[in-house]
Amino acid sequence: MPKLFIETLGCAMNSRDSEHIIAQLREREGYTTTQEFKEADLILINTCSVRERPVHKLFSELGVFHKKKKEGAKIGVCGCTASHLGEEIIKRAPYVNFVLGARNVSKISEVLHKDRAVETDINYDESEFAFNDFRTSAYKAFINISIGCDKACTFCIVPKTRGDEISIPADLIINEAQKAVNAGAKEIFLLGQNVNNYGRRFSGDTQKINFTELLHRLSKIEKLERIRFTSPHPFHMDDAFIKEFAHNPKICNSIHMPLQSGSTKILKAMKRGYTKEWFINRVEKLRAESPGVSISTDIIVAFPGENDEDFADTIDVMKRVRFDQIFSFKYSPRPETEAEHLPQIDSEIASQRLSYLQTLNNEILDEIHAECLGNSYRVYFEDLIHDGYVSGRSDNNLLIKVKGSEELLGTFHEVKVNAIGRTILTGEILA
């Protein structure tokens, strides 16, 4: 059986696309997967282009694959960088056999048998394509609920690589969730660029429901214990959504709310569609309706035009919200985005702001985790980690490890925290 090596960069949606690619190649072409690219008949790299660094990494990696690959092995490039560079990838690396865009995953078999194929149409609609089944984890199922994005955040390349936003029909999503639960998963993780904008547009004649209703229907699936999702957009966080989030017992009490900046002036320049006050208002509403909710976020520092007052606004939001996790980055100009050619903030200032923000974030995290000591949480064990530990997450997304082995995987247990760390807590099983 031919062997496939696939490397996935970037976000959870890329990981799910890689699972779809493996499923198609396994079912249609008889491939098995290998973790060793030197023995692979097909080497795939599923790329990310949200910042410049992953793009640089792509070409250096392609060079290594080309030099060390097995005689006759093929190399393919997929994902967001494939969508926006297209032909240029083959020009710069002529040993690449095909390029498959993030919106064309269902065409993997087609491009495999065509040399130098480039399939990167970002308007191609595979929202109703029923992919074969493959999952990396038996315990948690990632499920796409939409493709593309209709927003126009001025720093973001995603609309140019993943195309317009189309919701996947609810019955396809519910079927996929039911199948995953039948196969043993107790948790589903819904994926989309703007999950709470779900239902605005479908490609076919399907029943229109919104995200709140979709969550409600999914929670009816028996033996499904937990529902998580990413990313909701703060703009679409209406009261009905927050009520369902807070009062549906299967929806985990943790949410990712990408802030990007705490300055209303910068949020306007980013075309995020909300203000500092609206973001804070939604956080207060969430906490009022769902006490103990954990909130994570994304923040970009040094977006063009950000002055000390703007940065101080971001720090102010951090101190008032006390996020449970922050993914923070310096602004990276992306091709074909509205902000691409705006004058840049001095990189020294950008680095200072990022390091100040991350230091403050670590202080807040240490305080939040210190408050967990002695508390007990219901943990769903998903991963075997080093030194005889197994890890899992609490309902409010704390990562907790206990001494144990694989018989704990896929089970829930009450765990008392007896040691804290910045990224993972340690505990003992109570029941």
Q: Which residues of this chain interact with ligand SF4, rule CB under 6 A?
A: 149, 151, 153, 156, 158-159, 193-194, 233
Minimum distance, C-beta of residue 298 to ligand SF4, in the bound complex (Å) = 8
Q: Which of 245, 278, 242, 285 is nearest to 261 (CA)?
A: 278
As beta bridge partners, residue 428 has 416
Instruction: Round to whole Å and give the CA distance between 302 and 74.
Output: 41
Asked if 242 and 196 touch (Cβ cutoff 8 Å), the reply is no
Minimum distance, C-beta of residue 211 to ligand SF4, in the bound complex (Å) = 14
Minimum distance, C-beta of residue 335 to ligand SF4, in the bound complex (Å) = 14
Minimum distance, C-beta of residue 151 to ligand SF4, in the bound complex (Å) = 4
Minimum distance, C-beta of residue 30 to ligand SF4, in the bound complex (Å) = 35
- By beta-carbon proximity to ligand SF4, the closer residue of 151 and 217 is 151
Q: In the sheet where 254-256 sits, what is the strand order?
A: 254-256, 294-301, 325-330
CA distances from 403 to 74, 137, 186, 316, 408 (A): 43, 21, 22, 39, 10
| Segment (H or E) for 88 | helix 87-92
- By beta-carbon proximity to ligand SF4, the closer residue of 31 and 279 is 279
Structure tokens that stand for 87 in this block: 């032909």
- By beta-carbon proximity to ligand SF4, the closer residue of 339 and 417 is 339
Query: Which residues lie closer than 8 Å to 309 by C-beta, 6 or more apart?
Result: 263
Q: What stretches of 239-351 adopt beta strand conformation (E)?
A: 254-256, 294-301, 325-330
- By beta-carbon proximity to ligand SF4, the closer residue of 16 and 233 is 233
Instruction: Round to whole Å and give the CA distance between 233 and 231.
Output: 6
Greatest Cα pair distance in the chain: 61
- By beta-carbon proximity to ligand SF4, the closer residue of 97 and 196 is 196
Minimum distance, C-beta of residue 389 to ligand SF4, in the bound complex (Å) = 35
Instruction: Round to whole Å and give the CA distance between 274 and 241.
Output: 17
Minimum distance, C-beta of residue 143 to ligand SF4, in the bound complex (Å) = 18
Minimum distance, C-beta of residue 338 to ligand SF4, in the bound complex (Å) = 10
- By beta-carbon proximity to ligand SF4, the closer residue of 76 and 101 is 101
- By beta-carbon proximity to ligand SF4, the closer residue of 186 and 272 is 272
Nearest-5° Cα angle at 284, 281 to 289: 125
Residues listed for the chain: 431
3-class DSSP state for residue 278? helix
* Sign of the alpha-carbon torsion through 355, 278, 310, 347: positive
Minimum distance, C-beta of residue 109 to ligand SF4, in the bound complex (Å) = 28
CA distances from 212 to 195, 223, 241, 253 (A): 10, 20, 5, 15
Q: Which of 320, 322, 431 is nearest to 369 (CA)?
A: 322
Instruction: Round to whole Å and give the CA distance between 311 and 303.
Output: 10
Minimum distance, C-beta of residue 153 to ligand SF4, in the bound complex (Å) = 3
Instruction: Round to whole Å and give the CA distance between 316 and 419.
Output: 30
